[in-house]
Amino acid sequence: MAAVILIWFGLLLRKEVCYAVTSVNILTDILIPSIGEDIHLLCNFMPSNQHADVLITKDKVTRLASKICFNDGDCNNYNSNSGKMTWQTDASSAELTINKWSMSDRGDYQCVVDNTRSNTLNLREIMPEQPDTPEIMLNNLRAGEETKINCTSNNGYPSPAIYWYVESTNLTMNSSIQTEMDENGRWKATSILTFTPSRYDHGKGLICQVVQPTARLMSSQNDTMVLDILYLPIISLRLLDNEETVSSLTSLTSVEFECTSDANPKVLNLYWYHNQLIIVNSTGQLVVLDIVQRKTVSTSRLIINDVQRMHSGKYECHVITVLGNATATLNFSYISDRLPLLFIVQNQTTSSTLFVSWQPGFDGGFQQTFNLEYCPNNTLVKKGECGVVTNFTETSSELDE
């Protein structure tokens, strides 16, 4: 009670106002404060006078801070909560800092200078709210090329956290975030992911997750996009071994090759080559089946019927796509298990000389050697009369008696 009497006694002894205030304005650096922020209220007035009486109120009735000057030139500064607020004045302004804004600080703030009131600042914190569902924005993705992917969410408060995943792999460490407050005090948050995809990422789910930890539900919202990764063809060529094709290369009646290409976009054209010559469909020995496509994989088969020596050599499968081309190669050698066919050349045979020749079976085109064994009549009776000639490279021989 004594303190109140002293204050009002001071008001009675105060100086006489000899000038009129023409302008009083109150403003703040944060129109929409957040819990825990420091808020600065600045009161400006004209004309300047270091002995002006300045008062800042809340809800028109609560005096937060003031400066009251008297006729003798002394001024009294008052701060209703020095542990919570900081108060300072000069000849043309006064500043009140409210530390660590809380819900109890909500209200209407005014500045009064020599009984002239300022405008009213209505300070209400925004309650934490879940932001809008995020949206992923990206351009064409190509394997091995670095790209930027954006994910944006609006109307969050405070600014939310944004996380990135490819399936279950966390990519957030490769991202940065940009925030912007709108006129309603809500936050627009945009996360930018730096991503270098591979072909193995094709078809996987890219997830942008927005989390508002201070929202009432403390929940998250996601946007998921299936990755469409463009990549050059990966091609393989193999010799099939199935019920329709005998696996032994020494007794084939037919052989089948399979060419498989994994590419995005898909294969436009596929060509077969034998020893650098293009293979075309025919009703004879070579048959090329149509391309079978499923998702990013394309398959073509080449069937050779009645395999001959001429079918040995280098086979190539060449694919063409919008992004580029690729070729796979396989060397095929056919080895016949047929024995050489032996012929006796009668017009060169005499009573003491036998001239023989033979047609070798195919062994893949390599140099062949032959062994020739001969016996006279009644060999089984007269043992030891047979002979062997080895390491022939020719396909004929003359035997003397």
Q: Which CATH class name applies to 135-227?
A: mainly beta
Number of Cβ within 10 Å of residue 373's Cβ equals 9
pLDDT on residue 168: 92
Structure tokens at 370: 């032959």
pLDDT per position as a tens digit, 114-135: 888 888 888 876 666 678 889 9
Q: How confident is the model at residue 209 (pLDDT cuts 50, 70, 90)?
A: very high
Question: What is the average per-residue pLDDT within 35-53?
Answer: 85
141-142 and 116-117 strand pairing: unpaired
Reported for 275-284, long-range contacts at CB under 8 A and 24+ positions apart, including other chains, are 275/313, 275/314, 276/314, 276/316
Record: fold of 2-123:
Immunoglobulin-like (2.60.40)
Question: What is the average per-residue pLDDT within 44-53?
Answer: 86
pLDDT on residue 27: 85
Cα–Cα nearest to 92, from 140, 128, 42: 42
Computed over every residue of the chain, the mean pLDDT equals 79
SS3 of 302, please? strand
Q: How confident is the model at residue 5 (pLDDT cuts 50, 70, 90)?
A: very low
Q: How confident is the model at residue 341 (pLDDT cuts 50, 70, 90)?
A: low
Which helix (H) or strand (E) segment holds residue 11: the answer is helix 2-12
Question: Would you say residue 13 has pLDDT above 50?
Answer: no
pLDDT on residue 212: 81
DSSP string computed for 183-251: TTS-EEEEEEEEE---GGGTTPEEEEEEE-TTSSS--EEEEEEE--EEEEEEEEEEE--STTS-S-TTS
Distance CA 293, CA 296 (A): 7
Q: Which of 23-37, 203-217, 372-386 has the highest mean pLDDT?
A: 203-217
Question: What residues does 176 pair with on adjacent strands?
Answer: 192
Cα–Cα nearest to 13, from 76, 67, 74, 70: 70
Q: In the chain, count of helices (H) and strands (E)?
A: 1, 33
Q: How confident is the model at residue 399 (pLDDT cuts 50, 70, 90)?
A: low
pTM: 0.55
pLDDT per position as a tens digit, 241-261: 643 333 344 445 778 899 999
pLDDT on residue 287: 55
- 142 vs 304, residue with greater confidence: 142
pLDDT per position as a tens digit, 66-102: 888 887 778 888 988 888 888 888 888 889 898 988 8
Q: Which CATH class name applies to 231-332?
A: mainly beta
229-239 and 141-142 strand pairing: parallel
DSSP letter (8 states) at residue 310: G
Question: Would you say residue 10 has pLDDT above 80?
Answer: no
Q: Where are the domains of the chain?
A: 2-123, 135-227, 231-332, 341-400
Distance CA 226, CA 240 (A): 35
* 135-227 and 231-332 share one fold: yes
